[in-house]
Structures are given as structure tokens and as C-alpha cells.
Amino acid sequence: MTQHPVQNLLITGGCGFIGSNFVRYWLTEHPHSRVVVYDKLTYAGRKENLADLWDDARLQLVVGDIGDQALVRGTCQQQSIDLIVNFAAETHVDQSILGPLVFTDTNVRGTHVLLEVARELGIRLHHISTDEVYGHIRDDHQSVEADALAPRSPYAASKAAADQLVQAYAITYNLPVTITRGANNVGPYQYPEKAVPLFSTNAILGEAIPIYGDGLQMRDYAHVYDHCTGIETVLLRGEIGEVYNVGTGREMTNLEMVDIVLASLGKSHDLIRHVTDRPGHDRRYSMNVDKLKTLGWQPKYDPKEAVAEAAKWYAEHRAWWEPIRSGAFREYYEKQYAERLAGTAQ
């Protein structure tokens, strides 16, 4: 099996949810590596996510936009980067419906800039993608890496476009690339606009939990730790030019997920409110992860364990999320849910 040595990483979006968890994991497991976090520090990218690591001499922060080609290039040259891992993205579907253009700018153009820098400097690039690029999946199928992409939201479309740019650069320029497509991740430091931290923090505060439609949408909830180990596996042993799905291969309904959150926190189902569904809400995501398993990877967490552990983390870390749930977050929440929640009280 091919081994890919990695020494100096540029991790874009390294102050975000998955990115910060990956930085933490990589520095723990690879003590001789150096990591440069490149992050714009938008609302979901927070230095606090790595607060205990900034004194580590192996870690450095560069604040910048991945669309700034000169800064990306200069950083890679100055830091002798041999691998770019691209977590940087706008990722929330609801936000992409409210304001889609920033998703195209960051997720498509930003990825394109990284590809250009990688091509100019001869650097390998690993791109983090999502199961949402496959679109709604019929009940008798699990998405495999060779399936056609069929995105149905502005967010998913922007990620699918980025995937295809990455693959085009591999073919056209022989650029060494790999892609991982992750399931719905849960775990520490996830911004509370996403379902599990939103429902967990609402439950902790005794606020209503807004469930889109009937709540029977199917999702694979994977612990972010397993996503990190999956990415690591691909970086070290994956086939250059290939795509790998990362998830558990098992799914649950959103209502089942909420049941786990409430049980973990000792909260009542009376908090649940069914609200008007969002446009184009995909009914089911499910991925086959056998290809990644051929590299020796296995998930550590069952989806139920992953959701329960995440909910408990938010109960134990109120000091992290309480300051977030004001200002811009509150404005978004009111815009997205106030009208939907009106008149749903039990």
C-alpha cells in the first residue's frame, strides 16, 4: 500500500468545526509535523476552537481569504508547505438559501485559487467535500464514489462544482489530489446553527426545537473524530486522484436524532415543534464507505453514540456556545425560524 509522507500542512478553514478538530487530532498523532492554519475567521471560524494549542511551536495562524491568491502562494512558499488540506467553506444549507452568492465565491472560486497555487508550486491538495453533492438518495441505494453528482441546494451545488474542479485539475495538469466526502458530522466546537448543536443548546435553554416537516429525513450522523481519522487514512494511504466517502454507512431519521439529544440531556419531548420544511430539503443521504475501509479504516463511533456524546459536550461547555447565541446568530435564527415557530406552541 502506498505511503505518502507529510511534513508541513496548510489547513484552510482550520478554525472551523471540522478543521479545528482535525488540527487537534493531527498534531496529537503526528508530533513531527508542522501545521499552518489559514482561516478568514468568519462567524463560524473561531480562534477559541484551538485556544489551548496556540502556544505550540508546531502551529501557526495566518488570517486570510482563500481567494487571496498572492497570500496563499506566499504562505505556502514561506512555510515550505507540501500538502494543502482544504476545509475552508461556507457550509450551512439554510444560509445558502438566504444568501447563495458567498457560497459560490468561497466554495468554488476559493477552491479554484487553491488549485492554481498548488499547480504553480507543485503541492498536493486534499479537498474536503460532502455527501450532499450526491443529492437525494433512493431508499434502496447507498452513494458510491463513482455516482453522478446531483446537488439540490446552492450549498451542495457549490461543493459539487468544487469537486469537479479538483478532478479536472488532476486530469488536465496531473495535479496530485484526493477528495473525501463526509457525512453529517457531529462533535465538539460545531457552530450552533447546525442541527445537533442547535437542538442541544435550545434544549439546554428550554427553548423550542424546530423540526423541519415530519422529521423523517434520513441522515448519517458521524462523529467528527471518525471523519478526522478517515481523512488521515486518505492522506497517508489513499490513491492519488481518488474520491473516498467518509461516514458510518448507517443512518437515522432526524426525529430519532432529536430523541437521542433529549434523552442525553434529560429534557422533555414537549420542546419539539414541527415547522414548515425548507425548499428542496433532501429526504435521504446514505453513503457506502467500503472503499475507505479497504485502506484499513474503521469508524470508532456508532451514530447514536456520536449524537449522544455531542449533546453532552454542549451541556458541559456552555461557556463556549453561550456568547455565540447572540448578535449575528440570533438575527439568523429569528429570520429562519421565528415565522415558522409562530403558532406551533403546544
- In whole angstroms, what is the distance from residue 28 CA to residue 63 CA? 23
The single residue of 38, 155, 189, 314 carrying the catalytic annotation is: 155
Within the chain, residue ranges assigned H as helices are 17-29, 69-78, 93-98, 101-103, 111-121, 154-173, 195-205, 224-237, 254-265, 290-293, 303-316, 318-321, 328-333, 339-341
* 120 in active site: no
* 212 in active site: no
The CA-based dihedral angle spanning residues 104, 105, 110, 112, taken in that order and rounded to the nearest 10 degrees: 60
- In whole angstroms, what is the distance from residue 16 CA to residue 13 CA? 6
Give the angle 308-310-316 at the CA atoms, nearest 5°.
Answer: 105
* Element (DSSP H or E) covering residue 273: strand 272-275
The single residue of 131, 145, 193, 226 carrying the catalytic annotation is: 131
Dihedral over Cα of 130, 135, 139, 140: its sign = negative
- In whole angstroms, what is the distance from residue 50 CA to residue 64 CA? 17
- In whole angstroms, what is the distance from residue 261 CA to residue 166 CA? 37
The single residue of 39, 90, 132, 256 carrying the catalytic annotation is: 132
* 226 in active site: no
DSSP state of 192: T
- In whole angstroms, what is the distance from residue 169 CA to residue 285 CA? 27
Indicate the SS3 state at residue 63. Answer: strand
Which active-site residues does the annotation give? 131-132, 155
